[in-house]
Structure formats: structure tokens, C-alpha cells
Chain A
């Protein structure tokens, strides 16, 4: 049975390397039967997504999953998202700069993204917790809060690490209600989804979303 407390937090994303128009149509037909939160697509599929999904909450991925696009390209994508009326973007920071301790570069990059977003949409920063130490996670969150980002997505999936319940507890313990957390990478089942929500996750992304919201076993 569908758990409405999980369902309303679902961020669904038909983002696959070979996703076709037909795939997105089918995805929309299924998803539209539920009271989900939002949908994330690739930039190319934006117009189609606005047409097919029942809710106006549509967003795009920005520099996903590697974070290695230039600031100029990230900004261009964000400007496109704003122009098209997106509700949110999922943006990956410059992880190599972060791993190098070069927070000046990483922060300037995110600052440019926030400026381009112009308060017109929610900026969701992907922390990539599976690749980071707890100290790095804190530094990324601090940096994002500093430039005005308060929504964090834990992971991208794609063999770049998994989210653990401890990651959610850690971020929540640091920032409490100042932040919103979207958990991604490691949410396969309804019981896992509930566990993450109990730990403080506000939203969740899952590629097995029907199982995660309890619509299928």
C-alpha cells in the first residue's frame, strides 16, 4: 500500500543515458497516478516534461553527476531552467576543488549558480556524501549555506557512493531545521525510505520509486 507520507516526498527522475520520448511518456503515465513532489529531467527533455507531468514542479540536473562543468556552463543551464519556469535544479559543486581544499573556487562556482537562479527556483546542491569525509560534508554544507543554498541532496548514484542514515543524522544534527535534505542513492524499499525520513530526510529520490513509496513490493 502506498505510504502517503513517503509519496508526497518523492522526487522522481527519468534520467538515463538512453531515455527516449516514449520512456518519458510511460514514466509520466505511471508517476501521474501518485501525489509525488517533483520531477527532474535532462535539459533536452524539459519541454516534454512540462507537457506530460501533472505537476508544475519540474527541474533539471546541472553538471550531474561529476560537478566538473565550468561555472559558465552551470550558469547557462541555470538560466535556461529559470527561463523555462523550472521549480528546482540539482547542481553538483566542483568536487575536485573541494577535495583540493580550494573552497574559494568551489564557493565562487556555487555563488554564480545562486545568482543565476535569481530566487526564481530552488537550488539543490548535491553533497555526494559517499565520496566525502564527514569533515568535507560539513565544509560543503557550510559553503552552500554561506552562498544561500539550504537544500542538500545526498548523492547522485552512478557508483559514486551510497547514502547512509548516519549521513542524514549528521547533517540534521549540525543544522537542524535550517536545511532540507533529499536522500538519494540507497533508497530502494519502503522500509529504507521510512528509515531515512525518520532520521530527518525531507524528500527522497529513488530509481525504484514504486517500491520506495509502497506502490509495489
Chain B
């Protein structure tokens, strides 16, 4: 796989709160330099990032209902609409993990249907937080995401337990006959880490190590 192709999968992620605007700007400029898919940020900084990214093809991923996901569907839709209005091209939202574990699938279907509708052509990614799920729950969460027409189902927020390639494989197997793709996030530091995830079906990579991954990539 070509280096450019890997770069086009990277959501260059900066979510930690102890940074300043200069740091955010530097991350945005890196994304432009390496032609990453998007920068992934907290929604309060979309307006700033839009300015830093002006004139480039780099999108903006908003991290929504982050990192707990335990909001009512109405609250989630409010935040999604607000993020899109401000300039988000991708909406990564955390599903209601507790409701999934409680098998209250109607709640998750409802949030996804509403968010899909609110997103229109904006890319929607449902984060399922695999570190807290059984294999059956992971499969169910992927099925629900595909049924609702999510563009991607995403492994994790990156705040808690990191995903392993075997988990990506399980998700990919559930998604591969649907239009929904797999995003892996959390724990990828090197080109080798990324390669393992791509080999197991990842088509978007959520990472703060995008530069190391792309510069270290062997074609």
C-alpha cells in the first residue's frame, strides 16, 4: 500500500485538554502537510481548526458525546447539529454503551437514526468502546451501526482500553458485506501497529501518531 493511501486514512487526533491554540494549529498544519483525512478534535475548537485548515482538503472530525456516550438521543442530535453547523465534516459519536449492555437496542437505534438524519452527507462514525464489550456485544453494535447506515463503526474513544487487531477482525467480518467501514482508534504508535489494523480491515485510523506512521511506512 502506498504511503499516500495510508495518509488518506488518518484522522489526526488531538483531544487532550492541556494544549494551547499554537499546538492545535501545529497539528492542523501537519495534517495539511501529510494530506491526512481529517483532524479529530473536541467540538469547541472546530471554528479555530477551520481557520487553520483553510484552503486545504483536510476535513474536521468532531469527537461527540465524548467520552462516555451516556446521553439521551435528543442531546446527541443537538451536539451533532451544532458541530455540523460549525464546520465538522465527520461526526464521531460514542454510542450509549450502557444501553447496549442492557440490551435496550431501541435507544441505540433511535440515536443512530436521528444522527444519520442530522448528518445528511456528513460522515457519521459510531464509537462502540470495544474494551468494555463482549464479543457478542461487539458484533451487535456493528450490526446496529450498519443497519443505521453509519459510514464507519469505530473501535474506541482512545481514553480507555485500547483495541487489538483480533477485535478489528471481528468487527470487519461483521461489516464487510455492508457499506459501513471500520475505523480503529487507540494505541497505534508505529507504521507496524497501523499495518496490522489495516490488514484486519481498518479503513480509517484514529491516532495522534499519524506522522510517525506515515513517515515510517514501507511501501
Given contacts A16-B68, A69-B44, A99-B20, 16 further A-B contacts (CB under 8 A): A18-B97, A20-B101, A21-B102, A44-B72, A66-B16, A67-B42, A67-B44, A70-B43, A70-B79, A72-B82, A73-B79, A76-B75, A95-B18, A96-B44, A128-B17, A131-B17
- Give B74-100 as 1s and 0s: 1 = Cβ < 8 Å from A's Cβ atoms: 010011001100100000000011110
Which A residues lie within 8 Å of B22 (CB)?
Answer: 100
Task: Determine which residue in B20, B24, B69 has the highest number of CB atoms from chain A within 10 A of its CB, and name it.
Answer: B20
A94 vs chain B, min Cβ distance (A) = 6
Which A residues lie within 8 Å of B21 (CB)?
Answer: 96, 100, 102
Interface: B149 (CB within 8 A): no
Known pairs A18-B98, A19-B98, A100-B21; A43 contacts B86 (CB<8 A)? no
Asked if B70 contacts A45 (CB within 8 A), the reply is: yes
Q: Which residues of chain A from 49 to 104 have a CB within 8 Å of any chain B CB? A: 61, 64-73, 76-77, 80, 92, 94-97, 99-102
Interface: B129 (CB within 8 A): yes
Asked if B68 contacts A17 (CB within 8 A), the reply is: yes
Which B residues lie within 8 Å of A109 (CB)?
Answer: 44
A59 vs chain B, min Cβ distance (A) = 14
Interface: A142 (CB within 8 A): no
A70 vs chain B, min Cβ distance (A) = 5
Task: Give B17's nearest chain A residue, CB to CB.
Answer: A95
Chain A residues close to B by CB (< 8 Å): 15-23, 42-45, 61, 64-73, 76-77, 80, 92, 94-97, 99-102, 109, 128, 131, 158, 160
Asked if A17 contacts B129 (CB within 8 A), the reply is: yes
Asked if A68 contacts B45 (CB within 8 A), the reply is: yes
Task: Give B111's nearest chain A residue, CB to CB.
Answer: A44
Residue from B16, B70, B102 within 8 A of A42 (CB atoms): B70
Residue from B19, B44, B78 within 8 A of A99 (CB atoms): B19
Which A residues lie within 8 Å of B15 (CB)?
Answer: 66, 68
Q: How many angstroms from the CA of A70 to the CA of B87 in the assembled complex?
A: 13
Which A residues lie within 8 Å of B70 (CB)?
Answer: 15, 19, 42-45
18 contacts between A and B (CB under 8 A): A15-B70, A18-B97, A19-B98, A42-B70, A44-B75, A69-B42, A69-B44, A69-B79, A70-B43, A70-B79, A72-B78, A73-B79, A73-B82, A96-B19, A96-B44, A100-B22, A101-B20, A102-B21
